[in-house]
């Protein structure tokens, strides 16, 4: 089933922050309107695939956070990361608690649930655990700052790129 996502950027052509999914175009456009009114570039995109948590990849997990990170490549592997990492609330809580062991265990558990064709043997579990730990260690080293809520109207005053909630007046110092 296709989902609608809103991308908000400071300028056209710039990498923006994704929000969603939204059930229909109207809901997505209404969400993006306050950003557009503040002069930001807003686009609504229809995607067939759902956004997945970059840590656990649990099907159906709602992306609640985005962690700014620089690009990195895992040596001796055909894998790397480009820019921000999406996180569900469960993984976000583990990251903020600095429970990286718990984060890795969650990721490995969900991997085997999603891939029943991979034998869940001690050897394969060790190999997958090692790969997960290497990738998550790469994230920790590449992380550039605090997480950004993908729902800027909830929680704090911070929104996409730290621009604040567009429904609130600007704070002056």
120-137 pLDDT, tens digit each: 999 999 999 998 988 899
Q: Do 11 and 58 belong to one domain?
A: no
Q: Do 35 and 119 belong to one domain?
A: no
- The per-residue pLDDT for 124 is 92
pLDDT reading at 166 higher than 90: no
How do residues 90-111 score in pLDDT, each as one tens digit?
999 999 999 999 999 999 999 9
Residues in Cβ contact with 56 at an 8 Å cutoff, skipping those fewer than 6 apart: 88, 90, 91, 103, 106, 107, 110
In this prediction, residue 167 has a pLDDT band, given cuts at 50, 70 and 90, of very low
Is 172 contained in some domain? Answer: no
Number of domains in the chain: 2
| Residue 122 C-beta-side C-alpha neighbours within 13 Å | 0
Q: Which domain holds residue 86?
A: 52-162
Tokens of 8: 């908000």
Q: Do 147 and 69 belong to one domain?
A: yes
**Beta partners for residue 85, in sequence order:** 67
DSSP state of 2: -
Q: Do 33 and 85 belong to one domain?
A: no
Is 170 contained in some domain? Answer: no
Stated pTM of the model: 0.62
- The per-residue pLDDT for 123 is 94
């Amino acid at each position: 089933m296709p989902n609608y996502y809103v991308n908000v950027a400071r300028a056209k052509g710039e990498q923006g922050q994704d929000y969603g999914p939204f059930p229909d175009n109207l809901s997505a456009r209404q969400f993006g309107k306050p950003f557009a009114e503040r002069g930001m570039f807003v686009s609504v995109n229809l995607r067939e695939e759902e956004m997945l948590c970059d840590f656990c990849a649990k099907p159906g997990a709602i992306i609640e956070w985005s962690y700014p990170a620089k690009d990195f490549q895992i040596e001796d592997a055909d894998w790397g990361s480009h820019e921000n990492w999406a996180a569900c609330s469960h993984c976000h809580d583990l990251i903020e608690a600095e429970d990286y062991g718990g984060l890795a265990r969650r990721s490995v558990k969900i991997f085997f649930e999603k891939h029943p064709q991979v034998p869940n043997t001690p050897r394969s579990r060790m190999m997958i655990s090692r790969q997960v730990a290497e990738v998550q260690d790469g994230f920790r080293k590449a992380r550039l700052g605090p997480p950004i809520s993908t729902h800027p109207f909830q929680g704090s005053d911070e929104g996409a790129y730290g621009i604040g909630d567009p429904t609130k007046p600007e704070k002056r110092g």
